[in-house]
Structures are given as structure tokens and as C-alpha cells.
């Protein structure tokens, strides 16, 4: 069989074991080793097995394209008709169930000493997942998901991709409705389960924030015996979550501001910046150690607090916190989640803060506050580009208007906004702060490009459905990049 040099530790799966795990039948003769899985025929790497899921599009329509791109095989439903050029097929009754089965088998084949951490919350899950990956990566072989793979297909896909020699597994689990986390956490079977926060996200799908807290608390249902729950002591729904955790966790650990005396206490987070490319120096205490000082390249107090949760997980599993913390200094901001880029103008630079990946009232407020803190001698106006926050139900207009106080506190100079919900906020602002409102993000492109000037700080944020990502792309395309986030 061919050897894929991208995985020096050898194949991810043996074909016989994979067919058994999927609960299917092999049709064809494998000629390539299995090094991964993909759900998108456009993202196939050599050695990937393509899983033909039925979602917004039927993956069976792209099986042949996957093989043409170098797939080692494909998992398809029994009735799929083989086409010319198709390689080995694993035929199953249901491809999603097969992916779940493979994920379950991947979790079961880990060594007894391996440890798994799962994280959920209304905001900050992906960044915290990456902090967990960076922290545990200093201590042993660590596996974590790509991007925001936190839903009904993303979690089993991340499990399926997990090598058998993984020492630490890190999983992000999300939801938009009640009952969605329970089956995922039971697949993951974490030794540590973290709830970062409960905030008014997806409020349109719930009667109250209390219901959101109950949905987030489902993560504890999958805890292994002697499992640990980690909670944000400063969150409004802490007591509700603690009560939920008590039925499953052998220990409950807390993180938060030092004043409340949590297990992991944030004593101070001091800004460190160079040309607006901001990070933090953090002073904190953990149960197994004295005061620990560490640096992260990401800005914002909310990021500092979430770093406590990541390092508290290390502490809970007996790892060295000081050593793990060194990994956080090397973690860059992700596209759409606080990435900072200097853009060139003829007479100076613009600092672009890209927060374009999704939004809820709490994450929007945190992003605005952090952008306001980026002011320095090198930067002048603060320009906010805001898209609708979606799935907020009857409280949408009220929650959008509620951002005005945060905007005032950040001392924003101009606000560009799009979407019907943001109109409620935009027209409550003083006339001299109104840059432009448009029904869609596309309507902001030209006015924004025409308005920006050297020295501006520009922060872009909105829910995915508001399509703010193209605005970030337009800014980068229009202005040459000076330097990326460090």
C-alpha cells in the first residue's frame, strides 16, 4: 500500500478495523492507507476516506470527485451505484451513523492513561479549544478538532480523525437547541467537562437563559467516572450549572476573578502591545501551584478568563501548569476571532480587528470593549462595523439597542451597521457617529472603503448570517497588508 508522508506515525486506520467500526461491508480492494476523513470532496488530501453525508447537499453526488482528488475510499449508503473511477467503498445503512460508530471506536481504542477534555459555552469555545490544544500539546501527543467542528457531524468527525496514540483529546461541543449536546458528550466521554459561560445566544430557540444553561449542562452527562466539571464562577447561571454537575462529576472546580476565591483565580491581566498588535501578561493562581505568570498573544479580559479554564483542566489532570502555559504564548488569533492585521494607506496604517466569525450580545460587547482598548498613540479613530446578531427571538431589538452603552464606553467614533436588527441600534446613535446603515453587508463596502483614513482602528463583527467575512476580505484586498497578528 502507498505510504502518506504527511503522517509519520503511520496510517490512522487499518482497513479491516475501519470496516468493522463503520458497521459496513467493503466493496472493492483498498490500495491506499487511511490517513484521515473528509466530508468535502474539495478538501480531500491523499489517504482521506470521503464520508458521503446527506445534509444541505447529498454527499453521494460527489463521491467520484473525491476519488479523482485522491481519496483512499468512500463511505456510502448501501444503494449507491458505483461509477467509473470509484475506488473502494464501505457500504453502510446510514453514513452519519457510520461516522458516529467510527468516532465511538476511535474513543474506545485510546490507552487507559489517555485523557479527554470537552468544552462548551455560549461564547469562546473555539478559542478555548485551541488554548487547550496548545497547553496540552506541551505535555504529550494532543488531538483537537479543526475550525468549529462542534456539531452532530463535527464531533464524530473529530473523533474519527483521532490517532490511537493520542495522550490528550480536546473536543468542542456546541448546540442551538436543547438535547443536542447529550449524544455528543456521550460519544466523547470526557474526563473533564468545561462550561465557559451561559449567555443570550440562540435565545430565539429557548424560552429563557435558564433553558440555555440546562442545555449547556448536558455536557456533564458524558463524564467518565471520577470526571471533573469546570465552571465559570462569575457567570450568572453558576449555581444552576453546579447543581447539574453534581449528579455526574466527582469534583467541581471553578475559575474566575480572584475576588470570588475560585480554584483558578485571575489576579491581573496586563496589556502588552506593539503597534496595536495586542496580547496580555496574565497573573493567576491554580490549586496545585503558587502564582503563575504567563503570556498569551490574544487580547481581551474574556480571553484571559478562558485561559484559566484551559489551564485548570491541565491542573485537574495532574499536568504542570507553568509548562502548559508556555504553549499559550505561541497561539495566534484565528481568522474571524480577533485576528489583527495592519493595512497600509498612503500616509499610514489601519489596524483591522477581524471578529467576523459569528456574534451574540456578550461576544459583541467583549469585541467592542477590546477594540476600544487597542487605542494607542499610533491609532486614532475607532470604527465599528457591525452586522445583525441572529437567533435572539423577541428580544433581538432590545439586545441590539443595549450595545449603545458598550459603544459609548469604548469611545467609538464611527459605526457602520447592516441588517434590520442593527438599524435599531444605529439610529439611536448620535448623528456624528453614524457612518452608514445598509440592509446587507454588501451595501457597506464602498462607504466603508471611502471613509477610512490612516490611523483608524476598524473592528468587524456580526453573526454568520450577516455575511461580515466579505467585508474583511474587501478591506484586505483594497489595502496592502503590513503585518499579521503576532
CA pair distance 330, 332, nearest whole angstrom: 6
Tell me if 166 is assigned to a ligand binding site. no
Tell me if 126 is assigned to a ligand binding site. yes
Q: How far apart are the first and last CA of the chain?
A: 42
CA pair distance 360, 379, nearest whole angstrom: 27
Q: Residue 262 corresponds to which cell in the numbers above? A: 475560585
Contacts of 250 (CB under 8 A, 6+ apart): 225, 226, 227, 228
Q: In this structure, are residues 229 and 220 in contact, taking their beta carbons and an 8 Å threshold?
A: yes
Tell me if 121 is assigned to a ligand binding site. yes
CA pair distance 484, 440, nearest whole angstrom: 28
User: In sequence order, what E strands does 34-72 have?
Assistant: 36-38, 48-51
List, as one string, the DSSP characters of 352-412. EEEE-S---HHHHHHHHHHHHTT--TT---EEEEEEPPPS-GGGHHHHHHTTHHHHHHHT-
Q: Angle at which helices 361-372 and 301-316 pack, to 10 degrees?
A: 110
Q: Residue 336 corresponds to which cell in the numbers above? A: 474571524
Tell me if 243 is assigned to a ligand binding site. no
Nearest to 389 by CA among 376, 399, 380: 399
Tell me if 395 is assigned to a ligand binding site. no
CA pair distance 244, 242, nearest whole angstrom: 5
CA pair distance 90, 261, nearest whole angstrom: 54
CA pair distance 212, 95, nearest whole angstrom: 30
Binding-site residue numbers are: 121-127
Binding-site residue numbers for ATP are: 121-127
Amino acid at each position: 500500500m502507498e505510504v502518506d508522508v504527511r503522517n509519520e506515525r503511520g496510517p490512522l486506520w487499518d482497513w479491516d478495523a475501519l470496516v468493522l467500526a463503520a458497521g459496513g461491508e467493503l466493496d472493492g480492494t483498498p490500495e491506499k492507507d487511511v490517513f484521515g476523513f473528509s466530508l468535502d470532496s474539495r478538501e480531500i488530501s491523499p489517504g482521506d476516506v470521503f464520508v458521503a453525508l446527506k445534509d444541505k447537499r447529498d454527499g453521494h453526488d460527489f463521491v467520484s470527485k473525491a476519488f479523482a482528488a485522491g481519496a483512499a475510499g468512500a463511505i456510502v449508503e448501501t444503494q449507491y451505484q458505483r461509477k467509473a473511477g470509484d475506488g473502494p467503498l464501505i457500504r453502510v445503512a446510514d453514513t452519519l451513523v457510520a461516522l458516529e460508530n467510527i468516532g465511538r471506536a476511535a474513543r474506545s481504542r485510546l490507552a487507559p492513561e489517555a485523557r479527554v477534555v470537552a468544552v462548551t459555552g455560549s461564547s469562546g469555545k473555539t478559542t478555548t479549544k485551541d488554548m487547550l490544544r496548545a497547553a496540552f500539546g506541551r505535555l504529550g501527543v494532543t488531538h483537537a478538532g479543526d475550525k468549529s467542528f462542534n456539531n452532530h457531524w463535527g464531533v464524530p468527525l473529530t473523533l474519527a480523525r483521532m490517532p490511537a496514540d493520542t495522550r490528550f483529546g480536546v473536543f468542542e461541543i456546541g448546540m442551538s437547541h436543547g438535547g443536542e449536546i447529550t449524544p455528543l458528550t456521550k460519544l466523547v466521554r470526557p474526563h473533564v467537562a468545561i462550561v465557559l459561560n451561559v449567555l443570550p445566544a440562540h435565545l430565539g430557540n429557548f424560552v429563557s437563559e435558564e433553558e440555555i444553561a440546562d442545555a449547556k449542562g448536558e455536557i456533564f452527562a458524558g463524564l467518565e467516572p471520577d470526571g471533573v466539571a469546570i465552571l465559570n464562577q462569575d457567570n450568572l447561571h453558576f449555581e444552576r450549572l453546579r447543581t447539574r454537575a453534581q449528579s455526574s462529576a466527582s469534583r467541581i472546580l471553578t475559575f474566575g476573578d480572584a475576588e470570588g476565591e475560585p480554584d483558578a483565580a485571575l489576579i491581573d491581566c496586563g496589556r502588552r502591545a506593539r503597534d496595536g498588535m495586542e496580547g496580555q501578561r496574565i497573573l493567576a493562581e491554580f490549586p496545585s501551584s503558587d502564582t503563575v505568570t504567563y503570556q498569551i498573544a490574544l487580547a481581551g479580559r474574556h480571553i484571559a478568563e478562558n485561559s484559566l479554564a484551559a489551564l485548570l483542566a491541565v491542573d485537574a489532570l495532574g499536568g504542570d501548569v507553568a509548562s502548559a502555559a508556555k504553549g499559550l504564548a505561541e497561539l495566534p488569533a484565528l481568522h474571524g476571532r480577533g485576528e489583527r492585521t495592519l493595512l497600509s494607506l498612503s500616509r499610514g496604517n489601519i489596524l483591522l480587528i477581524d471578529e467576523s466569525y459569528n456574534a451574540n450580545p456578550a461576544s459583541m460587547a467583549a469585541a467592542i470593549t477590546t477594540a476600544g482598548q487597542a487605542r494607542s498613540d499610533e491609532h486614532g479613530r475607532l470604527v465599528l462595523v457591525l452586522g445583525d446578531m441572529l437567533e435572539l427571538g423577541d428580544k433581538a431589538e432590545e439586545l441590539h439597542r443595549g450595545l449603545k452603552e458598550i459603544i459609548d464606553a469604548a469611545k467609538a467614533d464611527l459605526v457602520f451597521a447592516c441588517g434590520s436588527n442593527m438599524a435599531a441600534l444605529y439610529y439611536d446613535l448620535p448623528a456624528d457617529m453614524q457612518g452608514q446603515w445598509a440592509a446587507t453587508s454588501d451595501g457597506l463596502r464602498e462607504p466603508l472603503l471611502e471613509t477610512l483614513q490612516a490611523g483608524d482602528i476598524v473592528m468587524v463583527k456580526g453573526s454568520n448570517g450577516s455575511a461580515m467575512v466579505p467585508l474583511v476580505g474587501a478591506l484586505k484586498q483594497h489595502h496592502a497588508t503590513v503585518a499579521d497578528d503576532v
